[in-house]
Structure 1
Amino acid sequence: MKQTILNNMIILTVIAVLVSAVFTTTAVYTMFNNKLREELENSADFFMDLLDAGYNLDELLESDAVAEYKTRITLIAENGEVLFDNQADIREMENHLHREEVREALTKGSSQSARRSRTLGRETFYYAVRLDSGQILRFAVTTESIIFTLYRLLTLIGIMLVAVITAAFLLGEKMAEGIITPINNLDLDNPLQNDVYEEITPLLTRIHRQNLAIKDQIQRLQAQQEDFIALTNNMAEGLIVVDRAAKIITINTSALNLFGESSSLSSDYIGRNILMLTRDIHLNQAVEKALRGDKAELVFTLNDKSYQVFADPVWEGSTIRGALVLFIDISSKYAVEQMRKEFAGNVSHELKTPLTAISSYAELIKDGIAKPQDIPEFAGHIYTETQRMIALVEDLLKLSRLDEKVELGPTEAINLLDVAAQAAQALKPLTDKHQIEIKVSGQSVSVPGNEAILFEMVYNLIDNAVKYSRDGGQVEVKVLERDNTPLLLVADQGIGIPREHQERVFERFYRVDKSHSKKTGGTGLGLSIVKHAALYHNAVVSLESEVDKGTTVTVEFKG
């Protein structure tokens, strides 16, 4: 602004000087020319007065005074022939009949004219008067033209311009500084508190109103941003928003936790490429696809968890502004689906094995291939496999009912210690066979529930402990109450369960040692029934085991 003021001031000064110079020169030149014309007329009048006084024209023209006279005097005949000239050789002069001043003097008695020489840059003024004899007496004076006069004054004008521009610059800089300083010192945050030029008060008022509007808008945007952050940070799903360059604009807490960055702040990743967060090729391809305008979907596995990922483009009109990536934890659903597939396969396998055996033995008998003495043995095998199938179907039906959480009978207060004793007694033939002692001890603790289901749960726990104990071992069953919470503990001194299998032993058909399971029999559903029976009674099952030392299963009834 300061430079603009200086420039404008200098330009105005230069224009003013030039205009003044032109007008002054023109005025002086006009005044000077008028003076010359007046002098020409006076010279003509003087000659005419001399002639009227009786002086001879020829004598006057031949006098020394006329010869030295600065004004040019020319005598011209009526036919235009030059008869006399005090400054030129008349023999070299052309006929003047067609000269403007001569023609007009012949008709009007007197005349004035001016002619300019562009080549010499000079201007000549003429005054002609007709004598009584009919001859024309012409007076002329030559002076510089106004253009030439201005040209000659250029140096002076240039010096004046330099001086004036210098003065204007120094003065303008000081004036501009005086104008600009108060403006530069304006407090734009509080514009109405400035004591400055009255002329800019309306501007300051507008700035004040604009500041209020901007402040209000910023507060609303901050509130919206805080609401958005609070909303996204409380989402269970991970959310990442990137711009067109795949740089992170927003990332919520769930997304940070998902990538193991729970100790980091979301602001640590703002402005960084999503590659800094994960280099998973499939995820980055999904983001790139979304940034091209297409939707992408994939299952993303990280840290033993599965996520359904949706990558969608963010449009503004017809322009892609970025992409939104949503991570939905489907680990449970994925695990259930995998278990369902495994369960279907296991059921098929568990049913196929006894059916194949039954079919084989039956076919031998049907075709008469079996010897008569072998038929009882084959019939025994068929019976065993049939019983195995019946047990499997019964266990599947039990699990199905427990899964559906339908009412399986009346709920009443059940003495857990009595149920444990009954289950131990029911397994006595098995324990006697393997010389295993079942020791039931504890308190008479009652829990609300279904007696048949509780019996099935305790029976399966003890049965499993017996089957995986060594012959001559001991299984200990305890019922107690801790902090008003009923507990059932079943401990054996058997082969134990490796740590990597402990989380899965309650799955359907899951067997740690399949060869051992074949020897001991069973459907592979016992512990799964235990888990579902516990859930039915709002109880939690936990397991502690050490290889070659034994296993302890605890059922905690939450009430």
Structure 2
Amino acid sequence: MTKRIFRSICLAAATVFVASLVISIMVLYNYFSEAYHDRLESQTKLTAHSLANEGVSFFDGLDTYGYRITWIDADGSVIYDTVSGSGDMANHSDREEYIEAVKNGYGESSRTSSTLTEKLIYSAQRLPDGTVIRLSCSQFTVLSLMPQMILPLTAIVLLEAYIAFQIAYRLSRKIVKPLNEIDLDHPKKDSGVYTELMPLLDRIEMQQNELKQQEEALRKKQNEFDTATENMHEGLILLNSDGKIISINRTASELLGIDCSGVGKSLVSLDPSPDLRSLIGEASGGSVAETVMSIDGLDYRFSASPVMSDGETAGIALLIFDITEKEKSELMRREFTANVSHEIKTPLHAISGYAEIMRDGLVKPEDTGEFAGRIYSETQRLITLVDDIIKLSRLDEGADGLMFEETHLLDIVRSAMQLLERPAEEMKISVSVGGDDVSVISVPHLVSGIIYNLCDNAIKYNRENGSVSVMVKDCGESAQIRVSDTGIGIPPDQKERIFERFY
């Protein structure tokens, strides 16, 4: 803006200067031309007066001082001329100044040379005897004076240009200074601003307030977005239409090893995985894409959804889910289903077989009770299995409806072992229970079931004449139940799976 003002001021100054110079030259030239004409007229009248008094002797020894004097007879013929002889000159009766002098007593005229560099001025005065005396002189035109004026004009132009430049430079800086010092955050704060700019400053201030409100709203939304995404267990990456990272949350950053410096860079350049590249490429084409990738031994589902705008892909939202537990649960569910199917088929086959034999009359009357007992035993086994499945389903639904109460662990252990006395005696296994009398808040029948199952396995998979020991220990804020036996144990390669749900 300063340069534009500077150029405008210089242009205006140059225009005014040139116009002033031309006008001044013309005015001065006209002024001196009129003075020149007046002096020529005075000289003509003085010459006419002297010639009328002295006659032709007036010309003896006369110094004309640059004037040409011509004495013209009443018929227009030349009587005397200070430059040429009278016989060599043509008749002057048709000359403008001669005609006007004869008619009015005095006449003037001027003629310009063909080169426009010299102007001849004629002044004629009629004498009492009817003759006419004419004086003429040459006057330079403006064009002819230019070569003589080049040097002074050049000096004046340079001086004027320098002065105009300095004035324009200082004036432009002075004009722009208040504009440069305007505080856009508080445009009306400076009292030195131009009054003419107040409507503009009012609008700027209003727009600044709107921008601040919008910026604050955007910052608030950004903070809410960052808070929400940073606390997500899933990874979230937002990409622009070029596949460059706009935003990445903590989970995705840790998972892919991309820190905040990766924002603004291409995701596929930071993680050149072929599966990821194919996923991003498919999403860029406007299709929802998914793939499963393994990272550090864990399974993750990558889901890329295109963000469409006016029918074109404006960005991509990439979500990363940890499906490791889900995959394990699915595997365990399949194993559980297979195991349950097997466990259910075994008693059902037995029941079906016994019933078929009895139906066909192949059982002796005295053996009917035994077969019925076997059917009853297998039925109870099936009922127990179904009850276990129902209990497991209820536990999956959460702890709602369960009654918590103070439970004495040592009493629970003793009760469980009493139920297992018979299986222990059959296998000749010695059982011992001991430890601290510890009370905890729990669901008694669930704790009893856990202890029963542990002790049942300890007896069932023990050796003959073996032993089972159950100890309860008070650990302060917690309690410990330890079941030790002399059984076959768990194979080393299976120990990591003992806490799997359906193992």
Q: What TM-score bracket applies, with the shorter chain setting the length?
A: 0.5 to 0.7
Q: Does 1:116 align with 2:74?
A: no
* Distance in 2, Cα, partners of 1:336 & 1:6: 80
Query: What is the match of residue 35 of structure 2?
Result: 35
Q: What is the 5 A alignment of 1:316-335?
A: 323-335=316-328
The equivalent residue for 2:451 is 458
Query: Helix, strand or coil: the match of 1:483?
Result: coil
Structure 1 127/481 Cα, relative in aligned 2: closer, same or farther at 3 Å? same
Task: Find the counterpart in structure 2 of residue 371 from structure 1.
Answer: none
Q: Secondary structure at the match of 1:55?
A: helix
Question: Residues 507-557 of structure 1, C-alpha deviation per residue, up to 9 Å, x if partnerless?
Answer: 4653xxxxxxxxxxxxxxxxxxxxxxxxxxxxxxxxxxxxxxxxxxxxxxx
Per-residue deviation, 1:344: 3.9
Q: Deviations over 1:461-481 (max 9, x none)?
A: 223334444555433223444
- Among 249, 265, 286, which residue is 1:252 paired with? 249
The change in CA–CA distance for 1:32 and 1:221 in structure 2 (over 3 A counts) is same
Name stretches of at least 5 consecutive residues in structure 1 with no aligned partner.
Answer: 367-378, 511-559
Contact residue 357 and residue 385 of structure 1 kept, 8 A:
no
Partner of 1:556: none
Q: Residue by residue, what CA displacement relative to the aligned partner does 1:79-99 show, whole Å, maximum 9, x if unpaired?
A: 987776544588887776766
* Cα shift readout 1:381-433 (whole Å, capped 9, x = no counterpart): x9899778776555444534544569999987766545544544554565456
* Counterpart for residue 477 of structure 1: 470
Contact 1:104–1:111 (Cα < 8 Å) also in 2: yes
User: Partners of 1:409 and 1:168 in 2: how far apart?
Assistant: 99
Q: Secondary structure at the match of 1:153?
A: helix
* SS of aligned partner of 2:43: helix
Deviation at 1:356, TM superposition (A): 8.9
1:504 is the counterpart of 2:497:
yes
Match of 2:363 in 1: none
Are the equivalent residues in 1 in contact too, given 2:236–2:319 (CA < 8 A)?
A: yes
More moved, 286-295 vs 461-470: 286-295
CA contact (8 A) 2:268 2:277 kept: yes
Q: Aligned to 2:123, what secondary structure does the other structure show?
A: strand
Match of 1:440 among 422, 433, 437: 433
> Helix, strand or coil: the match of 2:115?
coil
Q: Which residue in the other structure is 1:46 paired with?
A: 46
- Check the 8 A contact 1:247/1:270 in 2, yes or no: yes
What does residue range 293-332 of structure 1 map to in structure 2 within 5 Å?
Answer: 296-299=289-292, 301-307=294-300, 309-312=302-305, 323-332=316-325
What CA deviation, in whole Å up to 9, does each residue of 1:4-58 have, x standing for no partner? 89878877776676556544433432232112211332233234434654836xx
Offset at residue 153 of structure 1 (A): 0.5
**Aligned partners of 1:242 and 1:250 also within 8 Å:** yes
In structure 2, distance between residues paired with 1:156 and 1:224: 73
Instruction: Say which SS state the counterpart of residue 440 (structure 1) adopts.
Output: strand
Q: Is residue 70 of structure 1 aligned with residue 63 of structure 2?
A: no
Residue in 1 that maps onto 2:135: 139
List aligned pairs for 1:269-284, cutoff 5 A: 269-274=262-267, 278-283=271-276
Q: Is the 8 A contact 1:6 1:172 kept in 2?
A: no
Instruction: State how far apart, in whole Å, the 2-side matches of 1:274 and 1:316 are.
Output: 21
Which of 288-297 and 152-161 deviates more?
Answer: 288-297
Deviation, structure 1 residue 285: 4.9
| TM-aligned CA deviation for residue 121 of structure 1 | 1.6
Q: Deviations over 1:125-184 (max 9, x none)?
A: 233456788776543221211132133211122234445556777x7699689969x989
What do the CA deviations read for 1:313-366 (whole angstroms, capped 9, x no partner)? Answer: 667889977554444555544544444344445545666788899999999xx9
Partners in 1 of 2:160 and 2:386 — Cα distance?
Answer: 116
Give 1:163-312 correspondences, 5 Å limit: 163=159, 199-200=192-193, 226=223, 228-243=225-240, 246-259=243-256, 267-274=260-267, 278-283=271-276, 285-287=278-280, 296-299=289-292, 301-307=294-300, 309-312=302-305
Aligned counterpart, 1:159:
155
Q: Is the 8 A contact 1:358 1:385 kept in 2?
A: no
The answer on 1:491 being equivalent to 2:484 is yes
Contact 2:178 2:192 in 1 (8 A): no
Provide the rounded CA distance (Å) in 2 between the counterparts of 1:178 and 1:338: 80
Q: Residue type matched to 2:46 in 1?
A: F
CA distance in 2, matches of 1:467, 1:98: 160
Question: Which residue of the partner structure matches residue 542 of structure 1?
Answer: none
**Aligned twin of 1:552:** none
Q: 1:238, 1:253 within 8 Å by CA — same for their partners in 2?
A: yes
Work out whether residues 244 and 263 of structure 2, in 8 Å CA contact, stay in contact via their aligned partners in 1: yes
The letter for the 2-side match of 1:252 is: N
Cα 1:277–1:120 shift into 2, 3 Å: closer
Question: Partner of 2:365 in structure 1?
Answer: none
Q: CA deviation at 1:189?
A: 11
DSSP-derived class of the 2:55 partner: coil
Residues in 2 aligned to 1:339 and 1:111: alpha-carbon distance in whole angstroms:
135
Q: Is the 8 A contact 1:2 1:176 kept in 2?
A: no
| Corresponding residue for residue 55 of structure 1 | 55
Equivalent residue number for residue 362 of structure 2: none
> Could you tell me how far apart the structure 1 residues matched to 2:335 and 2:479 are?
34
2:121 corresponds in structure 1 to 125
Distance in 2 (CA, whole Å) between partners of 1:290 and 1:16 is 68
Identity of aligned residues (%): 31
Which amino acid letter does the alignment assign opposite residue 125 of structure 1?
Answer: I
**Corresponding residue SS for 2:469:** strand
Greater mean deviation of Cα atoms: 235-244 or 131-140 = 131-140
Q: Aligned partner of 1:491: which letter?
A: S
